Amino acid sequence: MVVRSVLATLLFTCLCAVVQAADRPHIVVLMPDDLGWQDLGYLGKEIRTPHIDAFADGGIRLNQFYVQAQSSQTRAALMTGRYPMRYGLQTLSIGPRSAYGLPVEERTLAQALKESGYRTAFVGKWQLGHAKPEFRPTRRGFDRFYGTLAGEIDHVRKAGAVGPDWWRDEKPSKDIGYDTTLIGREAAAVIAKHDASQPLFLFVSFNAPAAPIQAPKEFVDRNAHIRDETRRTYAGMVTALDDAVGEITTALAKKGMAANTLVVFHSDNGGAVPHKYPTGDGDVARGGADNGPYRDGQGSLHEGGVRVPAFIKWAGRLDGGYSNALIHVTDLYPTLLHIAGAKLEQRKALDGVDQWSAITESKPSPREEIPIAVEDHRAAIRVGDWKLILFTTLPARVELYDIPHDQGEEDNAADRNPTIVQDLGARLQKYAWDMAPSKHLDELRRARTADLPFVLGPNPIRHGATADADSRKDPSLTVERADRPKQ
């Protein structure tokens, strides 16, 4: 009797395992670079993106999806399920001349999926380390790699500050063409060549629409309705991005993989726009992006920098809709591993939490808080409706916003809510004690020649006092904030 019961259990377990293996979806992550909140057809209307809209229409839109403010940080958070401050990547991005990378002790999403039987491919901008072979995607869990290792390249020449940077696996590639088009073509080819009986993890990390703002004429011409030249060229980059997504859609359909492919789409950080206060990380003199109601953009800890358009789609399984759950990019790691039936146990503790029930069953987010940034000179945390931002370099500054009621972060409520400031500040302080030394700052400290630009900021008080009206056409950008502390 006992034996029969054990056998029955074993049989049941085996059947479940078979069902689960057959059920495991292909996973495709589509991640644009510096895409603004309002720069998709379904969100803004000015730039048409029919292919991305078609994905979004049948998917679940994630209305409170937070990322890190900079490229390398978001990629690292997604790939590890752990906050960048745990392993020293909390400051800026890994630059073309940087010697460091994502520490090899960190387990990556690709490694975890590969261990559980997925084939893996990375196409596009890596930016998680390039100075040593062990940092490369092909050593970090990906079977295949095509694209740029360091990023920050010219979109046509595909060269950056230290020369040509376009690769196929571990060899330089001489492919000619616009990077976004090449990335779309390669991603489609990966799908076309894939043996669909095995699950696939394809990470498409676009280099668009990030600076430099460049697009071939055919894409720019499709946005002739936009008068501003920078915005029109930026829109051309988004059009190329949408066409590339269209190629991927077609490839999935041709291969019969569309119904069993889970697609995750989100920008790596906010669109690059002139900040309310000039200078500072991620600041640009003229940006093509539009972050809609959100303040500032790439590099900023305000919503424009860290809250991005995002959705998740699984045509055969999920109905469309939306989720207002508080989600951080680190949550994708356990969520995707859960769906893939992969092993979650690992040596380093995860920060991300499984959001599958919150997304698909409209259950509350298991997350109470998101430490948006924990750096030597600044930090931010979202807890419930509240968001605290600290600028810790002198003159120090504290900002507190009630996000659902002040999405533009115009009304600093810090003075009126000392208890909340104290509570959120104490939480940030706890994280700060766990912070690993910043690899970026460490490199700068050791540099003999300081040719790497770095500004400790943006600090609104400091920059508000020296705002350069000439560089900001909109006079409101140079007006000091009303909530500046009394002198």
Question: 61-70: b or e for each residue (b if 16 or more CB lie within 10 Å)?
Answer: bbebbbbbbb
Nearer to Ca ion, 33 or 242 (CB): 33
Q: Which is nearer to Ca ion, 71 or 412 (CB)?
A: 71
Closest by alpha carbon to 271, among 311, 234, 241? 234
Compute the least distance from the CB of residue 84 to Ca ion, in Å: 13
Q: In one letter, which amino acid is 191?
A: I
- Shortest separation between residue 215's beta carbon and Ca ion, angstroms: 17
Distance from C-alpha of 184 to C-alpha of 30, rounded to nearest angstrom: 10
Nearer to Ca ion, 33 or 283 (CB): 33
Task: Report, in Å, the least distance between residue 348 CB and Ca ion.
Answer: 25
Closest distance of CB 210 from Ca ion, Å: 6
- Residue of 93, 84, 201 lying closest to 137 (CA atoms): 201
Measured from the CB atom, the residue of 130 and 462 that comes closer to Ca ion is 130
CB of 180 to Ca ion, least distance (A): 14
Widest CA span of the chain, in angstroms? 86
* CA separation for the pair 109, 89 (Å, rounded): 17
CB atoms closer than 10 angstroms to residue 448 = 5
Is the Cβ of residue 35 or residue 215 nearer to Ca ion in the bound state? 35
Closer of 33 and 106 to Ca ion (Cβ): 33
Q: Which two tokens stand for residue 390?
A: 């600290």
In 3D space, the residue among 115, 109, 260, 262 whose CA is nearest the CA of residue 196 turns out to be 260
Q: How far is the CB of 272 from Ca ion (least distance, A)?
A: 8
* Of residues 287 and 334, the one with the C-beta less far from Ca ion: 287
Residue number, 64 or 70, with CB nearest to Ca ion: 70
- Angstrom distances, CA of residue 276 to CA of 104, 229, 410, 467: 38, 22, 11, 10
Q: Which residues bind Ca ion (CB under 5 A)?
A: 33-34, 71, 268-269
Instruction: Give the residue from 71, 356, 312 showing the smallest Cα distance to 206.
Output: 71
Q: Is 370 helix (H, G, I), strand (E, B) or coil?
A: strand
Measured in residues, the chain has a length of 487
Identify which of residues 269 and 291 has a Cβ nearer to Ca ion in the complex: 269
Which secondary structure element, helix H or strand E, spans residue 66, and what is its range? strand 65-66
Least separation, in Å, of the C-beta of 68 and Ca ion? 9
Beta carbons of 289 and 297 less than 8 angstroms apart: yes
- Phi/psi class of residue 486: alpha, beta or left (left: φ > 0; alpha: ψ in -120 to 50)? beta
Q: In angstroms, rounded to a whole number, what is the distance separating the alpha carbons of residues 282 and 355?
A: 30
Q: At its nearest, how many Å lie between Ca ion and the CB of residue 268? A: 4
Residue whose beta carbon is closest to Ca ion: 71
**Dihedral angle sign, alpha carbons of residues 361, 364, 367, 371:** positive
